[in-house]
């Protein structure tokens, strides 16, 4: 047993891993599912394989492991409104696993659709950033905050139609440092995708800065898109 394995075994004894969806302790009988218990694993609403291929025209595609409902939806709500920052780790893991499954992991940089400074301060952390950092770590890729949200727009969840959502985020983002995205293939991360308005706006900002291609991935996607 290597020291790393021994260390993680001791950590598991001191802080036994819990299911990220229901909080139940994960015992050995749950097998190698380190993030979800068997019961939750069976309930997970996996997204279809062809979903998200044609969402926006600014990014190549958007991949999401799950549909935004049931235990996946409650996990996102807990992450965002229950300050459950620790949930971002497992979510980033599922996003990375999804991209590996599709065989596309060779991005030059991972970034995220950021919150405005005001909302980030209120929430204490940026959930998309936290997911992006974990996804990047699991894929062995660099992660950089390439975008800034310069307008504190109302939350997308308060808007109704597709055109409302697009109008709500128009001009909301700018590049943090001019040229930072230039000639790079960017993986753009967010927690949930609905119409793709936010991701399109972010992708357009990256492309205007010279990004070669932008791909997107989110933990969950709503079904009506």
Q: Which is nearer to Zn ion, 91 or 113 (CB)?
A: 91
Which residue from 159, 152, 189 is spatially nearest to 173, judged by alpha carbons? 152
Q: Which is nearer to Zn ion, 72 or 131 (CB)?
A: 72
Q: Which is nearer to Zn ion, 22 or 141 (CB)?
A: 22
Binding to Zn ion in span 5-64, by CB under 5 A: 19, 21-22, 24, 37, 40
User: Counting contacts by CB under 5 A, is residue 71 touching Zn ion?
Assistant: no
Binding to Zn ion in span 173-192, by CB under 5 A: none
Give the contact letters, 139-168, x = binds to Zn ion (CB under 5 A), - = no.
------------------------------
Q: Which is nearer to Zn ion, 30 or 201 (CB)?
A: 30
Give the nearest distance from C-beta 37 to Zn ion in angstroms.
3
Q: Which is nearer to Zn ion, 21 or 66 (CB)?
A: 21
* Distances 112 to 28, 128, 199, 215 between C-alpha atoms, Å: 35, 6, 9, 11
Give the nearest distance from C-beta 73 to Zn ion in angstroms.
15
Q: Which is nearer to Zn ion, 62 or 71 (CB)?
A: 71
85 burial level (CB within 10 Å; 0-12, 13-18, 19+): middle
Backbone angles phi, psi at 66, to 5 degrees: -130, 160
Binding to Zn ion in span 79-138, by CB under 5 A: none
Give the nearest distance from C-beta 34 to Zn ion in angstroms.
12
Give the nearest distance from C-beta 63 to Zn ion in angstroms.
24
Give the nearest distance from C-beta 29 to Zn ion in angstroms.
13
Give the nearest distance from C-beta 51 to Zn ion in angstroms.
24
User: Number of residues in contact with Zn ion, rule: CB under 5 A?
Assistant: 6
Cα dihedral sign, 34-39-42-44: negative
- The residues binding Zn ion (CB under 5 A) are 19, 21-22, 24, 37, 40
């Amino acid at each position: 047993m290597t020291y790393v394995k021994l260390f993680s075994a001791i950590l598991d004894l001191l802080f036994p891993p819990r299911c990220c969806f229901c909080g139940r302790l994960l015992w050995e009988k749950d097998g190698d599912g380190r993030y979800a218990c068997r019961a939750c694993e069976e309930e997970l609403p996996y997204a279809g394989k062809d979903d998200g291929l044609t969402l926006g025209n600014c990014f190549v595609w958007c991949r999401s492991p799950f549909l935004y409902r049931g235990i996946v939806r409650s996990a996102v709500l807990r992450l965002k409104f229950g300050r459950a920052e620790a949930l971002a780790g497992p979510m980033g893991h599922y996003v990375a696993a999804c991209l590996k499954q599709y065989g596309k992991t060779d991005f030059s940089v991972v970034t995220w659709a950021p919150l405005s400074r005001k909302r980030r301060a209120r929430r204490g952390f940026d959930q998309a950033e936290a997911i992006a950092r974990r996804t990047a770590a699991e894929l062995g890729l660099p992660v950089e905050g390439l975008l800034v949200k310069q307008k504190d727009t109302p939350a997308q969840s308060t808007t109704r139609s597709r055109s409302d959502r697009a109008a709500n985020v128009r001009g909301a983002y700018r590049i943090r440092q001019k040229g930072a995205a230039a000639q790079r293939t960017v993986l753009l991360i967010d927690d949930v995708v609905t119409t793709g308005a936010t991701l399109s706006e972010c992708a357009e900002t990256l492309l205007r800065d010279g990004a070669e291609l932008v791909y997107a991935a989110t933990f969950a996607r709503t079904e009506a898109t």
